[in-house]
Amino acid sequence: MKRLVSLIIGLLAICGLLAYSSSQLERSSGSTGDKVLNLYNWGDYIDPNLLTKFQKETGYHVNVETFDSNEAMYTKINQGGTHYDLAVPSEYMVAKMKRAHLLQPLDKSRLTGWHNFDPQFLNQSFDRGNRYSMPYFWGTLGIIYNDKFVKASQVQHWQDLWSPKFRDQIMLIDSARDIMGMALVTQHQSMNTTDPQKLLAAEKKLNRLAPNVKAIVADEIKMYMAQDEAAIAVDWSGEAAEMLANNHHLHYVVPSEGSNLWFDNLVIPKTAQHYNAIYAFLNFMSKPANAAQNAAYIGYATPNAKAKALLPKSVRDDRQFYPTQATIDHLQVYRDLSPAKVELYNDRYLEFKMHH
């Protein structure tokens, strides 16, 4: 009898463990309850007060799971077994997810705030007609400089970085497409070119920059610049915003001759389930007051024109993060290149890094 009781207790324990494991797995890949929204987002990329407000207004609880790269997000969704209702890929990843049939089209008839978006940030090459994506934030690639070491007039254009006066003073973000793209712009070429000869010429141009390059780094570039470790950096506007917040001697410039224009976007993965919650959230986030609150919290540029109008004038007129129209007209959105073409960029970039 004791053995039977022990056996029953053991079986109950195993069942409990399996149930717990199942619930944890479900939680990690999106809850399947009725009054929830499962959001797969970058870390700290939405004002938590907005999530609380959304829940109070609609009754939908938002489960947030985070990723740290587009590739990690793509892999998890592509593997299946998840129930994310919304995800936040960058522009090139939207194109890749479309090709892999990982997205559901937006039902525009259920979207009430589409007219709030600035038309110039819609209908981009990665998703013509915005069939699958709603813009979330946008930004640029540019130059960060420290006014303790550099005058503003010395670093207004990409070509300025090649000046001998900046020997061993520049940090570069470790990104093949961006650093190759910077060199291509100085040679009046497209940042999307796949011509091997033009890419080779860009690598040779970068090799001439090598004496000025102090380091090629990743996320730590923010810490180094905040601590005055280098006079100049090349990085994205979102990263620059964090640097500037931590060091008032830092400034950000988008070269007027051209640079990258990037987008992060809200999309609906193919395994989404909670459609009423999805459209309630998309409409909530496209309301000007909410989009403005989110932009103020994150510090990135909003594509929502009516939200931008609600931001302080000092923010709206900040040409570091809201460049002039003339500069915007020269920005280029990266096209999603085939693996073979990406390899061309990577090969040339690695040759430069070895040279450095």
Q: 232 and 130 in contact (C-beta within 8 Å)? A: no
Q: What backbone phi and psi angles, to 5 degrees, belong to 85?
A: -90, -35
Pick from 121, 243, 257: which is nearest to 183 by CA? 257
Cα–Cα distance between 289 and 344 in angstroms, integer? 44
Same domain? 254 vs 207: yes
How many domains, in total, are found in the chain? 2
Q: Are 228 and 165 in contact (CB under 8 A)?
A: no
The model's pLDDT over 67-117, given as tens digits with 9 standing for 90+, comes to: 988 999 999 999 998 999 999 999 999 999 999 999 999 999 999 999 999
For residue 151, what are the domain limits? 139-261+329-355
Q: What is the DSSP string of 159-201?
A: GGGG-GGGTT-EEEES-HHHHHHHHHHHTT--TT---HHHHHH
Residue 83 in any domain: the answer is yes
* Cα–Cα dist 126/227, whole Å: 37
- Which residues lie across from 62 on neighbouring strands? 37
Indicate the pLDDT class of residue 14, thresholds 50, 70 and 90.
very low
Same domain, yes or no: 231 and 337: yes
* Entry field: residues in the chain: 356
* Residues 286 and 339 both lie in one domain: no
Would you list the DSSP string of 285-339? HTSHHHHHHHHHHH-SBPSBHHHHTTS-HHHHT-TTTS--HHHHTTEEPPP---H
* 235 in the same domain as 191: yes
Whether residue 340 sits in one domain with residue 207: yes
Q: Are residues 208 and 335 in the same domain?
A: yes
Whether 350 and 254 share a structural domain: yes
Is 322 contained in some domain? no
pLDDT digits (tens, 9 = 90+) for 265-317: 999 999 999 999 999 999 999 999 999 999 999 989 999 999 999 999 999 99
Are both 182 and 146 inside the same structural domain? yes
In this structure, what CATH number is given to the domain that contains residue 93? Answer: 3.40.190.10
Residue 256 has pLDDT above 50, yes or no: yes
Beta strand 250-253 with 170-173 is unpaired
Same domain, 98 and 198: no
Could you tell me if 87 and 181 lie in one domain? no
- Per-residue model confidence (pLDDT) at position 21: 41
One domain, residues 68 and 102? yes
What is the residue-averaged pLDDT of the chain? 91
